[in-house]
A = this chain, B = another copy of it.
């Protein structure tokens, strides 16, 4: 069944939330304060892919890791640096990135505001 997730956040207050969207705040030291919101995914019985919105606080970063599944990324706000297999690229709003499966990658907030980006993964990745 089709489903709408109205946005219930307040970007001017750095709040990004949606109705009926799975939300997770990471507390591990290395990714502390990173927030993930599932915009389309298992909650909708989406059969093939998951669209997540990540918010990374000032000075924060995502996991430095590699895995078999790919990422499709679109920066929405803030300034990022992405490191892929030891190469660094600066990213600004609307830049998009394809991260190949098994390429080691990390996204770092290098700006003075929070960083927001979309990250799509295949459903088969087994995470949301």
CB contact under 8 A between A1 and B100, given known A48-B122, A49-B122, A72-B46: yes
Asked whether, in the complex, the Cβ of B3 is within 8 Å of the Cβ of A95, the reply is no
Give the shortest distance, in Å, between A122 (CB) and chain B (any CB).
4
Number of copies: 2
Q: Which residues of B contact A31 (CB under 8 A)?
A: none
Main secondary structure of the interface of A (DSSP, over half): strand
Cβ-defined contact, B40 with A72, below 8 A? yes
CB atoms of B96 and A40 under 8 A apart: yes
Chain B residues in 8 Å Cβ range of A95? 4-7, 18
**How far, in angstroms, from A105 to B95 measured CA to CA in the complex?**
28
Chain B CB within 10 Å, residue with most, of A6, A9, A11: A6
Q: State in angstroms the CA–CA spacing of A90 and B51 once bound together.
A: 21
User: Whole-angstrom distance between the alpha carbons of A74 and B9 in the complex?
Assistant: 14
Number of chain A interface residues as a range: 35 or more
How far is it, in angstroms, between the C-alpha of A96 and the C-alpha of B103 when the chains are bound? Answer: 29
CA–CA, A83 and B90, complex, Å: 38
Most chain B CB atoms below 10 A, which of A7, A11, A103: A7
The answer on a CB contact under 8 Å between A3 and B70 is no
Contact B7 A46 (CB under 8 A): no
Task: For chain A, residues 75 to 113, give those with C-beta under 8 angstroms from any C-beta of chain B.
Answer: 76, 82, 84-85, 89, 91-101, 103, 105
